[in-house]
Each structure stands twice: as structure tokens, then as C-alpha cells.
Amino acid sequence: MSALSVWDTCSGGVKKSTEKIILYLHGGAYCAMSAQTHRTLTHKISKSTGRRVFAINYRLAPETKFPGALYDAVQAFLYLIDPTEKYNFDPKRILVMGDSAGGGLALAMLLYLRDHDLPSPEGACLLSPWVDLSFSYPSWNSASLFDYLPNNPDKLTGMNPQKLYLGDDFSASMLKHPYVSPLFAEHFEHLPPIMVQSGGCESLRDEIDALYQKINQSNTTFIHNEVYQDMVHVFQAFPLGKSVEEAIESIGWWARLGMSMISKYQVKQQQRQITTAGLSSSSAHQLTKSLIMSGFSKKDIPPPILLGRRHRSIPG
């Protein structure tokens, strides 16, 4: 019996909630920050989306190393949907969000839930997600003049985030474990709709672009990508003018309309039973996906930022 079928047999005395909420995982390189430090940001997100935000304080490194943070994130989600606990939220009414390390952690959680046949959330919104702990992309150097993050963090001695999170004796292969660096997951199929926001001149620019390309090439997972010109890492948390307002507004659009529109189009295209004679399974999936996204972008209520629009602030 699968984990999902076991979960479906659970029953409790608490009526399932119809409220839509956000589960938020804060950033801080897995070793700093908290739900409290992100209060101003999550307050803006709550107002824009019209949802309560459940921001958790997962255990931090170096006191708690991997997979402690992932364990806490997964347990928080399962607690919120547990029919025997006080909330009993519908998983399809939970938007998972995170910034920087919290964005990477949110994506790792989606992969874990999928891999273990556990219920999946409604969707995700990742703000400048840190998805490659190997620091293998060149923007860590080329963008250091513009971003506030240090270049080559893996060369640091006392505050090396790799060693803090994984321990001094971590192996090179561990850096590319999909639950550590989600960018290196074997595939990104069968995940809920994902929105990504990032700054055009941030140090994580290249790895975020690589993540977008990989997810966009999947057959079954939909991604909406927004890159804001001349913005830095997690710019949504700073008073940087119009771009911040646009980004927060777009998060509200994603929560109120975007994810549900994608789900509706998926069902509609399945009902139409698109003719794909002579196409491979992969090509048929891509055709279906492209038609869904085409209809998605032509809706009467488009996203505040044009779907998939790209900015390039610095050479890369």
C-alpha cells in the first residue's frame, strides 16, 4: 500500500478547512534568519494574496544539519493537512513559498512529497531560490559587483554555508543530492504549478535560469518565470520602489488566479482529448502543455508582469 493510500484512509473529527493559506519558509543560508525577521515581507504577501501566512522556524545549521530543515518543512506541511489535528487544511489550498535558501527548501519539499507519494500542495512561489549549493554557475562571480551577496561563498572558512549545512566531512556528491541542491533532481515531472521571481543582477541569476529551463522542458509541470531588471537577491524584502510593488502584486495574482487558471486549463485540455497521432509521448505532452500555456497567457486577466518576460541587466 502506498503512502498516499494510507494517508487517504486517515480520518478524524475535524472538518476539512476550505481556507486558502500560505506555508512560508524563510531564507538565510540555512543558518540564519527566522519567521520574525521576515515579518515585513510576509505581511505584504498576506495582504496581496488575501491569505494567512504560516511562517515556520525550521531548525538551523550548524546545530541542526541536513536533513533537519527538510524534515521540519515536510512535517509542517503534513501537520497542516493532518485530519486528526486542529487545522485539517486541504493540501490543494496551500501555496508553498520561500525565499533564497527557503525557496530551495520549498522545492526540495515538493520533490520529497512527490517521491514519497504524499499529497501535493496547490502550487509554489519561489523568490530567488538557492537551488545549487555547489556554486557551479558563473554569476556568483560576474554579479558580485551588483549584488550584496559575497562571491565564492564556498571559499569562506568560518561562514562556509556548505560546511555549516552539511558538516565538515561532506562528500562532493552530497552537494548535488536533489534534496540539498534541487537543481540536480533527476526530473521535474508531476510537480504543482511553480512561480519563480528573481533579480536581473543577482548572484543566483544563472542557477535560477537553469532551473527555469529544466522545469520548462518537463512534460507535466508548469512554471511561470519573472526576472526583474536591475534587482538584487530577494529584492521583494527591500524598499526598492516600483519593481517591488509589481512583484508583490504578481504574487497576489498567482495566488488568486494564476494557479487555478492553470489547473482549469489542464482539465479543459484533457477533456478535449487533443489529437496527437504520430507524435511521441513526450511530444504529445509538450503540445498539450504549450496549448495550455497559450490559452493561459491570452486570458482576460493576464499577470501583472507579462508571462515569462526576460530581463538581462548585466552580461551573462
Q: What is the pLDDT of residues 17-60, one digit of tens each?
A: 999 999 999 999 999 999 999 999 999 999 999 999 999 999 99
Q: Which residue has the higher pLDDT, 246 or 287?
A: 246
Beta bridge partners of 99: 127
Cα dist. 120→79, 108, 146 in Å? 13, 13, 37
pLDDT-based confidence at residue 99 (cuts at 50, 70, 90): very high
Per-residue confidence (pLDDT) for residue 155, from 0 to 100: 79
Q: What's the rounded Cα separation, in Å, for the pair 223 and 259?
A: 10
- Model confidence pLDDT, tens digit, residues 301-315: 556 554 444 444 434
Domain region containing 65: 3-297
What pLDDT, on a 0 to 100 scale, did the predictor assign at position 303? 60
Residue 23, CA distances (Å) to 20, 26, 276, 298 in order: 10, 10, 38, 30
Here the CATH number for the domain that contains residue 15 is 3.40.50.1820
Q: Which amino acid belongs to residue 25?
A: L
How many other β-carbons are positioned within 10 Å of the β-carbon of residue 266? Answer: 17
Total domains in the fold of the chain = 1
Residue 288 belongs to some domain of the structure: yes
Q: Is residue 286 part of a domain?
A: yes
**Got the DSSP string for 184-212?**
G-S--TT---EEEEEETT-TTHHHHHHHH
307 is a domain residue: no
Query: Confidence band (pLDDT; 50, 70, 90) for 14?
Result: confident
Tell me the average pLDDT across 105-120: 98
Identify whether 67 is preceded by a cis peptide bond (ω within 30 of 0): yes
Q: What's the DSSP call for residue 306?
A: P
- On whether residue 169 sits in a domain, the answer given is yes
Q: Would residue 201 count as lying in a domain?
A: yes
| pTM: predicted TM-score of the whole model, two decimal places | 0.87
DSSP class per residue in 241-266: THHHHHHHHHHHHIIIIIHHHHHHHH
- Residue 313 within a domain: no
pLDDT at 157: 76
